[in-house]
Structure formats: structure tokens, C-alpha cells
Structure 1
Amino acid sequence: MDSSTKELITTLEELAMLLESDGDRHWSAWMRRAKSRLENLDYSGAEYLLSAYGGMGSFNDLILGQTQIDGQLAWKAGHIELNGRFDELRYKASGLARRIQKSGR
């Protein structure tokens, strides 16, 4: 397993944990499925991950730290930092997955 794949696996775990900390189940499960494939040397995990990006309602559109109070949108404490870290991990994951795809795995 090369260093890009190892780094992507670690990044996907971080993403899944961050998503779960905000109550997300759908995207955290997606990250864990991609991670599992890569851990099993199934490099289709990179393609699977990248399929989450793009289009309406995609992983790109997700914003963390939102809640509802009396039917109104409200922001959770720390939402700016949470989304900053989320954006870093999301961008890093897509770059690593593209690198793995380009390497022909």
C-alpha cells in the first residue's frame, strides 16, 4: 500500500468521525465504505469516494453545525471551526483520491 492510500485511509477515518460528531450518518457511512475498500486494496474506493462529489445535494454541498430550534435554522457553537476543518479534510480526501486514480490503481 502506497503512502497516498495510507493517507487517504487516515483522512477518511477523520472525516467519518467529524461527520458523526455532528450527527451525520449518511456521509459518514459513505466515507467508511470507501475506507474499507481501500484497506482491502480495492482501489475502486477512490472512485467511490469521488462519486460523492459534484451535483446537487452532493458531499460538496454539505455544511455542518446546523440545527433547528423552534423550526428555525440555528448554528451550533463552534460551527465556523467545524466547517473549516471539514473543508480541509474534504479537499484533502478528493486530492488524494484523484492522485490514486491517476496512478492507475
Structure 2
Amino acid sequence: MGPKTEQLICVLDQLAVVLESDGATHWSQWMRKARAHLLNADYYGVEYLLSAYGGMGSFNDLILGQSSVDGVFAWKPGYIELNEKFDSLRGEAATLANAIKRAQD
């Protein structure tokens, strides 16, 4: 396993924790599944991760920290910092996955 793959595994773990903290279980499970493939030295983890990006309703579109109070939209406290951290991790995961993919091609 190369250093970029090790970095990606670490980032995916952090992403899963951030997503779980906001109740985004679908995407958290997606990151954990990609991570599990990579831990098993299965390149499919990279392809699976990258398939989350792009298109309507994709991982790119996700914004954390939103809620509904009595049917009215509201932001959760700390949503700005949460989304800054999330966006940084999301971008880092994509960058690492694309670098690994290029090295494989």
C-alpha cells in the first residue's frame, strides 16, 4: 500500500466521523465502504469513492449542518466550521483518489 493510499484511508475515516456527527449515514457508510476496500488492497475502493462525486444529489452537493425545527429550515450551531472542515476533507479525498487513479492508468 502506497503513501497516498494510506493518506486516503485516514481522510476517509475522518470524513466518516464528520458525516456521522451530522447524521449523514448514507454518505458515512459510503466512505467506510471505500475505506474497507482500500484496507484490503482493493483498488475498487478508489473507483467506488470517485463514483460519489458528480451529478445531481452527489457527494459534491452535500451541505452539512441543516435541520428543520417545527417544519422550518434552520442551521445547526457551528455549521460554518463543520462545512469548512467537511469541504476540506471532501476535496482532499478527491485529490488523493484521482492521484491514485492516475498512477494506476
Report TM bin, short chain: over 0.9
Provide the rounded CA distance (Å) in 1 between the counterparts of 2:50 and 2:28: 14
Aligned 1:21-40 pairs, distance under 5 A: 21-40=21-40
Q: Where in structure 2 are there 5+ consecutive unaligned residues?
A: none
Counterpart in the other structure of 1:8: 8
Residue aligning to 2:54 = 54
Size of the alignment, in residue pairs? 105
Separation in 1, partners of 2:25, 2:96: 23
* Whole-angstrom CA distance in 2 between matches of 1:68 and 1:48: 31
Provide the alpha-carbon RMSD of the alignment: 0.8
Taking the aligned partners of 2:47 and 2:98, their CA distance within structure 1 comes to: 8
For 1:20, the equivalent position in structure 2 comes to 20
Normalised by the length of structure 1, the TM-score is: 0.98
Which whole-Å CA distance do the structure 1 matches of 2:59 and 2:93 have between them? Answer: 12
**Structure 2 equivalent of residue 42 of structure 1:** 42
- Secondary structure (helix, strand or coil) at the match of 2:104 reads coil
Report the CA distance between 1:74 and its aligned residue.
0.2
Structure 1 residue runs of 4+, over 6 Å off?
none
Deviation at 1:68, TM superposition (A): 0.3
